Structure 1
Amino acid sequence: MALQMETIRATADRVAASHQLDLVDLEFTGGAKHRILRVFLEKNAEARAKFAAEAASNEEAGLPKGVPVETLSGVTHEDCANFARDFGTVLDVEDLIPGSEYTLEVSSPGLERKLLKAVDYERFRGSLAKVQTFTAIDNNRHFTGRLTAFDGKTIMLDLSAVKQKGKAKKTQTAQTVEIPLANVEKANLVAEI
């Protein structure tokens, strides 16, 4: 019996929504007896807005200094535990993962979360990001800069926002780079602490 990732993803979405959470990413790794299903969650938009409002009104909220509230997922250990309990039950009852041996890991996406969807680029405009492209742009495939614009098809990074390293430092002539979303192999935020 083959693993049906789309069915698992849809089930994770449904269970997450029941806990006021959004599914950020889901990955299945390993083989044989060392299989791991990793689920990354964050509070849904309504809960994140409430979290941001509480953080803004309470300077003693215990949030890391200098970290934009929007980059925090707001997910607690309790959220992860409740989701894992309910999602694990559904996985087992519906036998979505053949065989009985696998590990379910549930966490927030972290401060250096992946940027996977177009809405991520819009939401995190103004944040530092690291982007790797499929094909080279100006003889470079690796860029780190501030995400300054996104028009739905192209992201713009301000490379002057960070000190460039390695090949990027030697070949950098422009202060900004436009990267078609279709050319992004992987991208993630860079923590600013």
Structure 2
Amino acid sequence: MSTTQSDRLRGLLEPLVHAKDLDLEEIEVSRAGRRGLLRVIVDSDEGVELDACAELSRAISEKLDETDAMGEGEYVLEVSSPGADRPLTQHRHYVRATGRLVKLQLAEAAGGDEVIARILTVDDEGLDLEVPGVKGRKPTARRVAFADIAKARVEIEFNRKDKKEEEA
């Protein structure tokens, strides 16, 4: 049974990522000129700090040097967090976005609407949202099932208070 390079890399790198208490979100292998490019995206419930990415990058580099997973040619290794604008595709992504403003594109079967709302709670079936009021109106509550979501992405808020600021 043959596996793709990405699957092989995932099997090789996942234990290293989990050892750092991180989730392996994505592995992307591509070409950058004559060199290969290996992009490893990691995340956690608390986010990912630069030092954690640097430590993980060193561990991954050592592991890849011991194997032929990237082939014989030169490659560039990038280890980073997913960034604020990544799509929400898994349950844990929605949980991590609790309290954040999100843009949801609903499936055609659910009306195909676009909804911008703040995630209040997440359970196994879907999301409880607060839809901001328009022109002085009060916000409204809305429930959206995961099955009704075609696409979702966190909206970047420039004036959003950070959780650490709110706790202080």
Work out whether the TM-score is over 0.5: yes
Give the Å deviation of 1:119. 2.2
2:97 maps to a residue whose letter is F
Q: Classify the secondary structure of the residue corresponding to 1:96.
A: coil
State the distance in 2 between where 1:33 and 1:182 align.
42
Going from structure 1 to structure 2, the CA distance change for 1:144 and 1:95 (only over 3 Å counts) comes to: farther
Going from structure 1 to structure 2, the CA distance change for 1:120 and 1:139 (only over 3 Å counts) comes to: closer
State the distance in 2 between where 1:143 and 1:101 align.
45
Q: RCO (CA 8 Å, sep 6+): is it higher in 1 or 2? A: 1
Cross-structure match for 2:108: 135
Asked if 1:75 is matched to 2:49, the reply is: yes
Q: Is 1:144–1:162's contact at 8 Å kept on the other side of the alignment?
A: no
Structure 1: 4+ residue segments shifted above 6 A: none
Cross-structure match for 1:11: 12
Cross-structure match for 2:146: 181
Give the Å deviation of 1:128. 1.0
Q: Percent identity?
A: 27
Cross-structure match for 1:192: 157
Moved more, 105-114 or 131-140: 131-140
Cross-structure match for 2:88: 115
Q: Classify the secondary structure of the residue corresponding to 1:122.
A: helix
> Which ranges in structure 1 are unaligned for 5 or more consecutive residues?
49-72, 164-173
Q: Select the residue among 109, 122, 128 that pairs with 1:150.
A: 122
TM-score (norm 2): 0.67
> Which ranges in structure 2 are unaligned for 5 or more consecutive residues?
159-168
How many residue pairs align between the two structures?
Answer: 153
State the distance in 1 between where 2:23 and 2:14 align.
7
TM-score (norm 1): 0.60
Give the Å deviation of 1:87. 0.8
Going from structure 1 to structure 2, the CA distance change for 1:33 and 1:182 (only over 3 Å counts) comes to: farther
Give the Å deviation of 1:34. 5.6
Give the Å deviation of 1:79. 2.2
Q: Is 2:35–2:73's contact at 8 Å kept on the other side of the alignment?
A: no
Give CA-to-partner distance per residue, 1:78-114, whole Å, 9 cap, x none.
3222211221232342222334243221112223344
Root-mean-square deviation over aligned CA pairs? 3.3
Q: Is 1:132–1:143's contact at 8 Å kept on the other side of the alignment?
A: yes
State the distance in 2 between where 1:86 and 1:11 align.
11
Q: Indicate the structure with greater helix content.
A: 1
Q: Is 1:114–1:188's contact at 8 Å kept on the other side of the alignment?
A: yes
Going from structure 1 to structure 2, the CA distance change for 1:18 and 1:122 (only over 3 Å counts) comes to: closer
2:116 maps to a residue whose letter is T
2:126 maps to a residue whose letter is T
State the distance in 2 between where 1:26 and 1:162 align.
40
Q: Is 1:3–1:98's contact at 8 Å kept on the other side of the alignment?
A: no
Give CA-to-partner distance per residue, 1:13-39, whole Å, 9 cap, x none.
211233343323333344874643222
